[in-house]
Amino acid sequence: MKRPFPQVPGVEVEHRMLQARGLRFHVALAGPLEAPPLMLVHGWPQHWFEWRKVLPRLAEHRRCVLPDLRGLGWSDAPSAGYEKEILADDVLVILDALGIGAVDLIAHDWGGWVGFLIALRAPERLRRYLALNILPPWLPWRASPRRALRLWRLWYQVVLATPWLGETVVRRSRAIAVALRSDNVHADAFSDADVAAFAQVLSEPERARASSRYYRDFLLREAPQILRGRYKGTELTVPTHLLFGVHDVALGRALAEEYGARPGGSLTVELVEDSGHFIAEERPDLILARAREFLGIPV
């Protein structure tokens, strides 16, 4: 991709392309080389620039590592390989390529799902995990018709997953603007320039196709396995704090409350009343506060 990288005022960002698993991955890096590493992993429809509001403060104290997931941002967009377990492998390989052992992690949306998978599979790679508006891959309850009715919120995933239709929708900047702004509590969460920074990348055909595959692979392959109990009984040992903006139109607050109601364990859930799905844009002050209190970063 020849598009220029957006600029983050107040911090110097290095952009590096890493060759791994037969793909080129883009990683943005900021902060002192000798500082403890902090990885930040974006979701859809975003890329590393999701962290623009918190990066300047975090990079004062940590070596910040911001990869673009495959198919998004400036990383390669292959025709296959969008199961989230594969994305977790990608992230671990990126850490290996950078010579990084264990990190603190902040991750959102699909990046947050990947974070949970890494925490389950390779807990030694994560010190602490701050998850943003994503739910763990294990179900907090047994499937039932009543609970299945909640899945109406995921109608947009069916649209995005549909061949041709999903790609066509993703390539429209207006659709990306709606996706980013539809549940914002704070009207200034995304400027027009912010929206353009994400929409312009997704206008490219191969990235639009990749976006559709994110959801198609999930609905056709991953979701059925989860409903059959793929992650049932798995134990989360990495200390994890979930920040969840309750106005999230896709996930809703009810599921987050059910995860939070489970006593004990390594997962704590904090409901945020004045945010929707894109909490890093709506409440960057809160992200920094929890980075200080939970991750021990003196921001």
Write down the pLDDT at residue 265: 79
Give yes or no for residue 144 having a pLDDT over 60.
no
3-state secondary structure of 102: coil
Residue ranges in 77-191 assigned as alpha helix (H): 84-97, 109-121, 145-148, 155-161, 165-170, 173-181
pLDDT > 90: percent of the chain: 85
Determine how β-strand 14-20 pairs with β-strand 37-41.
Answer: unpaired
Contact between 243 and 133 (Cβ < 8 Å): yes
How far, CA to CA in Å, does 103 sit from each of 38, 187, 249, 293? 6, 33, 31, 16
pLDDT in tens, 206-246: 999 999 999 999 999 999 999 888 998 888 999 999 999 99
Write down the pLDDT at residue 54: 98
71 phi and psi angles, rounded to 5 deg: 85, -10
Write down the pLDDT at residue 152: 60
Domain 14-137+149-293 matching CATH 3.40.50.1820: the answer reads yes
How far, CA to CA in Å, does 118 sit from each of 11, 38, 93, 236, 296? 28, 15, 12, 10, 21
Write down the pLDDT at residue 139: 78
- Select from 203, 250, 209 the least CA-distant residue to 81: 209
Q: How far apart are CA 281 and CA 275, in angstroms?
A: 9
DSSP-derived secondary structure letter, 297: -
Ranking 45-59, 122-136, 152-166, 200-214 by mean pLDDT, the lowest is 152-166
How far, CA to CA in Å, does 287 sit from each of 187, 199, 241, 293? 18, 24, 11, 10
Q: Where are the domains of the chain?
A: 14-137+149-293
The stretch 273-290 carries a mean pLDDT of: 98
Q: How far apart are CA 260 and CA 155, in angstroms?
A: 25
Write down the pLDDT at residue 56: 98
Contact between 90 and 25 (Cβ < 8 Å): yes
Average pLDDT, the chain: 94
Write down the pLDDT at residue 263: 63
Ranking 62-71, 100-109, 154-163 by mean pLDDT, the lowest is 154-163
What is the layout of strands, in order, in the sheet containing 14-20?
14-20, 23-30, 63-67, 37-41, 103-108, 126-132, 240-245, 267-272
Give yes or no for residue 141 having a pLDDT over 70.
no
pLDDT > 70: percent of the chain: 95
Write down the pLDDT at residue 254: 85
Partners of residue 145 on adjacent β-strands? none
pLDDT in tens, 97-111: 999 999 999 999 999
Write down the pLDDT at residue 153: 72
Write down the pLDDT at residue 149: 53
Write down the pLDDT at residue 95: 98
